[in-house]
């Protein structure tokens, strides 16, 4: 009898793996169901009422072209020039207000572009970062909710 007690102490009973397998199967099923619901449109998107008509989003949109900028980069004989032009995407209701402060917008863009280091422009992904920084500065100058996007139409430096 002493031998059976020591054998039981050495080999504890194994726990069942059923809860682990059941949990994994349930997680996979819930993931598949969530994907299907989102993909098929059963879960409403966050776009509001015109989720099915993408053209309706652009009816109240206006584009304000900005004057081209030529900015000198670097100092001394190594100086290079950047040619930059862009358009602002905004609500049509705010087009006149933003057009009125266009000189201020050009000033903030010119000031920012002059402060850029040449090493930043050598990075292939730098345009995305620069665009985000310029958009944020334009939004600060124009006020909240007026400018939605900055569309870069020319970005050439030599």
What is the average pLDDT across 103-114? 94
**Residue 136: pLDDT over 60:** yes
- State the average pLDDT for the chain: 84
pLDDT over 70, % of the chain: 82
Name the residue ranges covered by the structural domains of the chain.
17-59, 61-157
Q: List all residues 6 or more positions away from 58 whose beta carbon is below 8 Å from its beta carbon.
A: none
Q: For residue 88, what is the enclosing H or E element? A: strand 80-91
Q: Could you tell me the pLDDT band of residue 46, with boundaries at 50, 70 and 90? A: very low
Residue 14 binned pLDDT confidence (cut-offs 50, 70, 90)? confident
How sure is the predictor about 63, in pLDDT bands with cuts at 50, 70 and 90?
very high
For the cut 70, the answer to whether the pLDDT of residue 76 exceeds it is no
Share of the chain above pLDDT 90, in %: 50
| CATH fit for domain 61-157, picks 1.10.10, 1.10.3470, 3.30.479, 2.50.20 | 3.30.479
As a whole number, mean pLDDT of residues 120-136 equals 90
Q: Is 72 left (phi over 0), alpha (psi -120 to 50) or beta?
A: beta
Q: Is the pLDDT of residue 72 over 90?
A: no
């Amino acid at each position: 009898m002493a031998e059976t007690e020591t054998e039981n102490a050495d080999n504890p009973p194994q726990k069942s793996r059923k809860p682990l397998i059941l949990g994994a199967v349930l997680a996979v099923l819930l993931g598949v169901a969530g994907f299907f619901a989102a993909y098929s449109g059963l879960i409403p998107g966050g776009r509001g009422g015109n989720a099915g008509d993408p053209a309706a989003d652009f009816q109240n949109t206006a584009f304000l072209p900005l004057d081209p900028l030529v900015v000198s980069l670097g100092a001394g004989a190594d100086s290079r020039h950047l040619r930059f032009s862009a358009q602002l995407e905004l609500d049509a209701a705010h087009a006149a207000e933003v057009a009125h402060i266009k000189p201020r917008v050009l000033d903030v863009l010119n000031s920012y572009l002059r402060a850029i280091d040449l090493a930043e422009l050598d990075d292939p992904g730098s345009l995305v970062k620069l665009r985000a920084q310029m958009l944020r500065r334009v939004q600060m100058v124009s006020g909240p909710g007026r400018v939605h996007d900055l569309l870069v139409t020319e970005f050439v430096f030599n």
